Amino acid sequence: MDEQPRRPEFEPTTDFPEFIDADDSIVAAGPSAHDAEVQRRRRFRVRIFAVVAAVLLVGGGFGLVRTVIAVAVSYALFMTGIAVIGAFARPVPDAPPPGELRRVKLTYRCEICGTELRLTLANDQVPEPPRHCSEPMMLTTNLDDVL
């Protein structure tokens, strides 16, 4: 068989591609340090935008109090939205070390509605049965075959 060429490892980034090469700042090694630097720069840009918007609104004839309230609320909403969206971009946690979990093939069935569930990984003990329709499911796998 022909061996397929190996692809380079994918490294996700949280910055815009056009600004990656323009980043001359020294950042400590590790993804969390880079993410913190990107977040710091993003907050700085948003604050600059808020100040410019406030100056334009005050210069445009809006009252100072109305402008400060509008800019503060807009800033809070925008930063909350960025935090919520950023929560979706977190990497998948590493798998547990081998030995903590083992492969099993346990099948459970809900006595009320008939839903079946198959458990494929478990620790060394037999786990508690899952709940469905507010009742514990029945184990349908013969434990002598599993253990």
Q: Extract the tokens encoding 89.
A: 């971009």
Is residue 23 situated within a structural domain? yes
In a shared domain, residues 27 and 79: yes
Domain that holds residue 107: 102-146
Instruction: Please state the three-class secondary structure of the chain as a single string.
Output: CCCCCCCCCCCCCCCCHHHHCCCCCCCCCCHHHHHHHHHHHHHHHHHHHHHHHHHHHHHCCCCHHHHHHHHHHHHHHHHHHHHHHHHHCCCCCCCCCCCCCEEEEEEEECCCCCCEEEEEEECCCCCCCCEECCEECEECCCHHHHC
Predicted pLDDT of residue 69 = 92
In a shared domain, residues 67 and 28: yes
Rounded-to-integer distance, Cα 115 and Cα 137, Å: 9
Predicted pLDDT of residue 48 = 92
Is residue 93 situated within a structural domain? no
Is residue 5 situated within a structural domain? no
pLDDT in tens, the chain (147 residues): 555 555 555 454 444 445 545 545 554 444 566 677 888 888 899 889 989 998 998 888 888 899 999 999 999 999 899 888 877 877 766 766 666 777 778 888 999 998 998 888 777 666 788 888 988 998 887 766 655
CATH code for the domain in which residue 119 is found: 2.20.28
Predicted pLDDT of residue 142 = 74
Is residue 138 situated within a structural domain? yes
In a shared domain, residues 84 and 26: yes
Predicted pLDDT of residue 72 = 92
**pTM for this model (two decimals):** 0.39
In a shared domain, residues 82 and 115: no
**Structural domain tally of the chain?**
2
